[in-house]
A = this chain, B = another copy of it.
Amino acid sequence: MTQTSSSPVLPAPIPAIVLVRPQMGENIGAAARAMWNFGLDHMRVVAPRDGWPSQSAVAMASGAGRLLDEAQHCADLPSALADCDFTFATTARGRDLTKPVYSPEAAMKLAAEKISAGQRVAVLFGPERAGLENEDIAQANAIVSVPVNPKFASLNLAQCVLLMSYEWMRAQGDVTHEVTEMAGTDWAKGAEVDHLARHYEERLEEAGFFYPEHKTTSMKLNLRNMWSRMPMTRADVQMLHGILRQMVRWKEKG
C-alpha cells in the first residue's frame, strides 16, 4: 500500500527506516534489500527526487520488492514522523546541534528497548550526496554516527542502512555466541582421547619412534600433551586410530 497521508502507521515492533529526499531509485531499491537482509521491512520515503513509485527502485530491489510496494510515501518529514515517539538521525559529521550521539550498536539497543516498551521508533537517512540537513536533524531526538575511517568515510546510502539494520538484528538477542558446527559427530570424551594416546604410544614404541632413550620421557609427554590440547571429535579420534592401524597393516604386508 502506497500512501501519501500524513499519518502512516507502524505495523510491527520494528523501527521504520525513513529515506529523506533520496535521489536515485537504485539506491532506494538497494536500501530495501539491505533492510530485509536483517528482517526490517518497514520503509518510508520522503519526497524522493524522481517521484514515487520508482521503477528503478523496483528493478534493484529484486526479492525485497514487497518493501517498496508497502513503503509509505510522505510529502515531508513531519508527516513521516507524525506517529513516531523517538527518531534517530544518521549523520557522518558533527552538526553544531546539541543532541545525544549514539553508536549504531547503542542506538539500536535503545531502539529495541523503546519499541519493547510500546514506542514507535524511526531512523532517518539523508540524500546520497549531502546527507541530512540541519533542519532534518533538528526534528530527531538523537544522532547515530557510524565510526568510520576519518581518512575515508564513503559509506553510501544502502551501506549505511545495512549497518543500522545489522545492528538492529544484533540488538534482538545475543548473537555473539560461538558454536561449533558438529557435522554429525560429538566431542571425544576423556577416555577416548586416553585410549588414542595409548594406542599411538604403544605402536610408536614398537616402531622405534621414541629415540634416543634419554628423550623418551619428554617425547611421550609432549605427545600426550598434544592429544589433550586438541579439540578432537569422535570422528577425528576414529580417523586417527584408522591412520595408525593402516600404517601397521601396510608394514605387515611388507
Contact = CB atoms under 8 A, between A and B. Distances in A.
A34 B162 CA distance: 12
A55 interface: no
B36 A149 contact: yes
Given A149-B38, A181-B97, A185-B98, A223 B239 contact: yes
A3 interface: no
Given A102-B178, A159-B162, A226 B239 contact: yes
Number of copies: 2
Nearest to A234: B98
A254 interface: yes
Nearest to A158: B159
Interface in A91-117: 94-103, 105-106
Interface stretch (A17-25, A75-83, A119-127, A200-208): A200-208
Given A149-B37, A243-B204, A231 B233 contact: no
A242 interface: yes
Residue among A63, A151, A152 having the largest count of chain B Cβ atoms under 10 Å: A152
Contacts of A98: 180-183, 185, 233, 235-236
A67 to B, nearest CB: 10
Interface in A107-156: 143, 146-149, 151-155
Interface stretch (A4-12, A44-52, A191-199, A245-253): A245-253
A179 interface: yes
A152 B209 CA distance: 54
Interface of A: 33-34, 36-39, 63-64, 94-103, 105-106, 143, 146-149, 151-155, 159, 162-163, 166, 169-170, 175-185, 200, 203-204, 206-209, 219, 222-223, 226, 229-233, 235-236, 239, 242-244, 246-251, 254
Given A34-B159, A207-B249, 8 more contacts: A33-B152, A33-B154, A64-B152, A98-B182, A103-B175, A159-B159, A163-B166, A203-B247
9 smallest beta-carbon distances between A and B, as pairs = A251-B251, A207-B250, A247-B247, A209-B246, A39-B149, A96-B183, A36-B152, A100-B180, A147-B175
